Amino acid sequence: MAAMMQSAMPTSEPGYSFSQAPQSVAGGPRQHGFYPYTDNGGTTLGITGSDFAVLAGDTRSTSGYNINSRYAPKLFKIGGTGSANEGARIVLSVVGFAADGNALKERLDTVVKMYKFQHNKEMSVHACAQRLSHILYNKRFFPYYVHAILGGLDENGVGALYSYDPVGSYERETCRSAGAASSLITPFLDNQVNLKNQYDPTSGSGLEKVTKAPQPLSRQTVEELVTDSFTSAAERQIEVGDGLQMFIITKDGIEEKYMELKKD
């Protein structure tokens, strides 16, 4: 309004209908109609035992109803040496927006490798887990749109699993599923790993019933639970399928297993 009043003021000087200094548009607020995220589907799963941790994820990458790729791993070794992460003892799984997942993986991997150069010892899973939380929270207002699960062995050689929300809230757990089919897999895990709704058959009925206490599972049992989870999820979730990649972390290192899933 002020600009209008000023220029409308009659003067003896010749006036012009434009400002003589070029006006810069830069620097002002800009609004964009660009949504920077997408969902690449897929599911991940982690279960721990007394001396191992298993992380698994399907290898399908999707955009809507399209299959981008039948082999796009969501599991990454963290630390170790070189781009192949030889000798690594930590695994990160990310599901959600794959580009953010890759960026997150690269940042965490760099941090863990730098840690070894600076302190001349391997980073513990505990420390790595907290660092990952900080990396995620650092982008609190433009988050990495991923559900991360970090797995390894703790200081006592016991399987350790940490799960995260996209902004870095985290918790150590014995088992966790994330991604497109997490709503299908989680109740199965509740029942089979945490023995929810399972009662001692020798106890009475009604209020007498005694719940079963969860016990650490054997490695074979865990692997079977993982494959059953994914074959079932692939039946019901269109974003899950193609292949199942599994990383088993033990004191001897990381063992990789791959099996085919339904490709439809």
Instruction: Tell the smallest beta-carbon distance from residue 248 to another protein (Å).
Output: 24
Site for another protein in 37-96 (CB under 8 A): 37-38, 40, 61, 63, 66, 68-72
Which window, 30-38, 42-50, 197-205, 220-228, contacts another protein (CB under 8 A)?
30-38
Q: Which of 15, 87, 204, 253 binds another protein (CB under 8 A)?
A: 15
In Å, what is the CA distance from 28 to each residue of 25, 32, 143? Answer: 6, 13, 24
Partnered with residue 81 across adjacent β-strands are 86
Which window, 18-26, 115-123, 169-177, 204-212, contacts another protein (CB under 8 A)?
18-26
Instruction: Tell the smallest beta-carbon distance from residue 103 to another protein (Å).
Output: 6
Contact 196, 244 (CB under 8 A): no
Which window, 14-22, 128-136, 175-183, 191-199, contacts another protein (CB under 8 A)?
14-22
Give 11 or 202: the residue with its C-beta nearer to another protein: 11
DSSP, res 118: H
Q: Is 207 in the site for another protein (CB under 8 A)?
A: no
Give 95 or 160: the residue with its C-beta nearer to another protein: 95
Give 123 or 136: the residue with its C-beta nearer to another protein: 136
Q: Which of 21, 31, 84, 141 binds another protein (CB under 8 A)?
A: 31
Distance in angstroms (rounded) separating the CA atoms of residues 224 and 96: 25
Which window, 11-19, 41-49, 161-169, 186-194, contacts another protein (CB under 8 A)?
11-19
Length of the chain counted residue by residue: 264
CB atoms within 10 A of CB 46: 31
Biggest CA-to-CA distance, the chain: 106
Site for another protein in 218-257 (CB under 8 A): none
Sheet of strand 175-179: strand arrangement: 175-179, 43-48, 53-58, 243-250, 253-260
Q: Which of 99, 167, 195, 238 binds another protein (CB under 8 A)?
A: 99
Torsion 175-178-183-188 (CA) sign: negative
Q: How many residues bind another protein (CB under 8 A)?
A: 41
Contact 144, 169 (CB under 8 A): no
DSSP secondary structure letters along 139-189: TTTS---EEEEEEEE-TTS-EEEEEE-TTS-EEE-SEEEEETTHHHHHHHH
Site for another protein in 124-163 (CB under 8 A): 142
Instruction: Tell the smallest beta-carbon distance from residue 146 to another protein (Å).
Output: 13
Residue with tokens 């001349």: 120
Q: Which residues of this chain interact with another protein, rule CB under 8 A? A: 1, 3-4, 7-8, 10-11, 14-20, 23, 25, 28-34, 36-38, 40, 61, 63, 66, 68-72, 97-99, 102-103, 142
